[in-house]
Amino acid sequence: GAAELGPYRHYMQKEIFEQPRAVADTLEGIQGIVPELFGDGAYRVFKEIDSVLILACGTSYYSGCTAKYWLESIAKIPTQVEIASEYRYRETVPNPRSLVVTISQSGETADTLAALRHAQQLGMEHTLTICNVATSAMVRECKLSYITRAGVEIGVASTKAFTTQLAGLFLLTLSLAQVKGRLTESQEAQHLKAMRHLPAALSAVLALEPQVISWSEDFARMQNALFLGRGLHYPIALEGALKLKEISYIHAEAYPAGELKHGPLALVTSEMPVVTVAPNDALLEKLKSNMQEVRARGGVLYVLADGDSKIESGEGIHVIRMPEHYGELSPLLHVVPLQLLAYHTACARGTDVDKPRNLAKSVTVE
Ligand code: G6P
C-alpha cells in the first residue's frame, strides 16, 4: 500500500534507492571467497567444469552478458550467454563439462526453467542459479545456488534485482577464479575491499538524481534514443535502453559504440539523443572518437563520465560526472543513473511506471 512507499512516488523509485541496502544484504557475512558460498559440493563442480553457459531472459540476460566479461577476463573461463527462449529450441553442441548458470529474479520464468531442463536433458548436470527467491522452482531444480537478497521487487522494470545479480555473479567469478588457481590472495583482498565499498559507492551515485532529472526533461520530448557503451559497459547500455523503452515507451536501442558507423549513425539527428556510458577505462579514447562522429551529425550527447575522464559539458554535450572510477565493478554503478533516467522520463510522460502496458513482472507461461 501507499504507506510502504514512504517518501517515494512509485515502487520503482523506492527500489532504485534500496540498492545500497540490497547489495549490502546480498554480500553480508562474506569474509572470504569460498566455493561453498554456492552450496555443498561446489568445489568439486568448479574444479570439473571447463566453461560456463548462462541462460536467462530480460534484464537477467543483461546481467549474464556483463558476467561474461568478468568470467573471461578474471577467471579465464570461456563463457556463452544465451537468451533462454532461443537456447531451448536451438540445436546446440552440449558440453557436459560446462557449468549451466541460470539467472532469474523470480525463479519461475517459464523459458528459463525450460532452458535449464533442456540443458539437463542434453546431459549437462552442473547447474547453478543466481536467484532472488529461495523457494522458487529454479532453486529447487539447480544443484548449486546463490540467493540474492534484493527483497521483494514490485516494479515490473527490474532494478535492484539486476544490481544484486551482478554482485552474485562477481562472487561467482572470483570463486571460479580461485578454484582454477587464477586469483592470488592479494587480488582476492582487493576485490573484497571493492565489493564492501559498493553500498557507499551506490549511495553517492544516487545523489546524482537531480542532474538526471534535468536530462529526463529533454528525453520526455523525444521519440527515439540511442545508448552506446563498449566492453563491460555494452550490456549496461542495453539495460539502459530496455529500461527506457519498458516504462517511457520511447523507442530505444543500444549499440556497442564501435558499430556506430555500421548502421545507427544513419539515424543520428538533433532529435536522437545519444546516451554514452563512458568510464575512464582502456576504451575511453576510442569512445571519444565515436562521440565526435555523433556530434559531427548534429546528435546530442548525454555522457556518464568518470571524475577523471576529461570530457566537458558544452554545445550538444551534457556530462554527468560519476563520483569515482570503479574498475571492474563499474557496471553496477553506471546502471543506476540509467535506471533513474528511465524512471524520471516515464514520470514526465505520465506513464504507469510500476505497471507498464502489456508487460508482466513474472512470465510464467511461454
Ligand atoms: C519479465 C520482467 C523483467 C525480467 C524478466 C525475467 O520480462 O518484466 O523485469 O527481467 O521477466 O524475469 P526473471 O524473474 O527470470 O529475472
- Nearest C-alpha to atom 7 of ligand 1 is from which residue? 58
Q: How far apart are CA 3 and CA 306, in angstroms?
A: 37
Ligand 1 touching residue 112 (CB < 6 A): yes
pTM above 0.90, yes or no: yes
21-34 residue pLDDT tens = 999 999 999 999 99
Please report the pLDDT score of residue 287 as a whole number.
Answer: 86
Minimum-distance ligand 1 atom for the alpha carbon of 157: 9
Question: Rounded to an integer, what distance in angstroms lies between the CA atom of residue 19 and that of residue 163?
Answer: 7
Q: How far is CA 345 from CA 47, 131, 218, 332, in A?
A: 47, 29, 8, 21
**Residue 361 appears among annotated catalytic residues:** yes
Residue nearest to atom 15 of ligand 1 (CA): 104
* Centre of ligand 1 from the C-alpha of residue 347, in Å: 21
363 within ligand 1 shell (Cβ under 6 A) = yes
Ligand 1: residue whose CA is nearest its atom 4: 58
The more confident residue out of 325 and 331 is 331
**Is the predicted pLDDT of residue 238 greater than 80, yes or no?**
yes
Return the pLDDT at 73: 97
DSSP 8-class letter at 1: -
**Among 180, 288, 355, 361, the one annotated catalytic:** 361
Residues 129-159: tens digit of each pLDDT: 999 999 999 999 999 999 999 999 999 999 9
On the question of pLDDT at 362 being above 80, the answer is: yes
Q: Ligand 1: does its nearest atom lie under 6 Å from the Cβ of 364?
A: no
Single out the residue of 293, 328, 299 nearest to residue 315, CA to CA: 299
For the CA of 57, the closest atom of ligand 1 is 6
Q: How many Å lie between the centroid of ligand 1 and the Cα of residue 105?
A: 7
Instruction: Please list, residue by residue across 56-89, b when 16 or more beta carbons sit within 10 angstroms of its beta carbon and e when fewer do.
Output: bbbbbbbbbbbbbbbbeebbebebebbbbbebbe
Q: Is the ipTM of this complex over 0.95?
A: yes
> Closest ligand 1 atom to the C-alpha of 161?
16
How would DSSP label each residue in 125-176? Answer: --EEEEES-TTSHHHHHSSEEEE-------SSS-SHHHHHHHHHHHHHHHHH
Residue 176 Cα to ligand 1 midpoint, Å, equals 26
Could you tell me if the CB of 362 is within 6 A of ligand 1?
A: yes
Q: Which pLDDT score, from 0 to 100, does residue 3 have? A: 61
**Pocket of ligand 1 contains residue 106 by CB under 6 Å:** yes
pLDDT digits (tens, 9 = 90+) for 264-293: 999 999 999 999 999 888 888 888 888 999
Ligand 1 in contact with 104 (CB < 6 A)?
A: yes
> Hey, whose CA ends up nearest to atom 3 of ligand 1?
58
Task: Give the model's confidence band at 240: pLDDT under 50 very low, under 70 low, under 90 confident, else very high.
Answer: very high
CB 224 within 8 A of CB 272: yes
- The pick from 363, 365, 366 for probing ligand 1's pocket by mutation, whose C-beta has the most ligand atoms within 8 angstroms, reads 363
* Confidence band of 180 (pLDDT split at 50, 70, 90): very high
pLDDT of residue 211: 98
Q: Is the CB of 59 under 6 A from ligand 1?
A: yes
| Residue 109 beta carbon below 6 angstroms from any ligand 1 atom | yes
Q: Distance from the CA of 12 to the center of ligand 1, in angstroms?
A: 14
Note whether 49 and 98 are within 8 A (CB): yes
Are 62 and 78 a contacting pair, CB within 8 Å? no
The residue-averaged pLDDT of 114-139 equals: 98
- The reply to whether ligand 1 has any atom less than 6 angstroms from the CB of 359 is yes
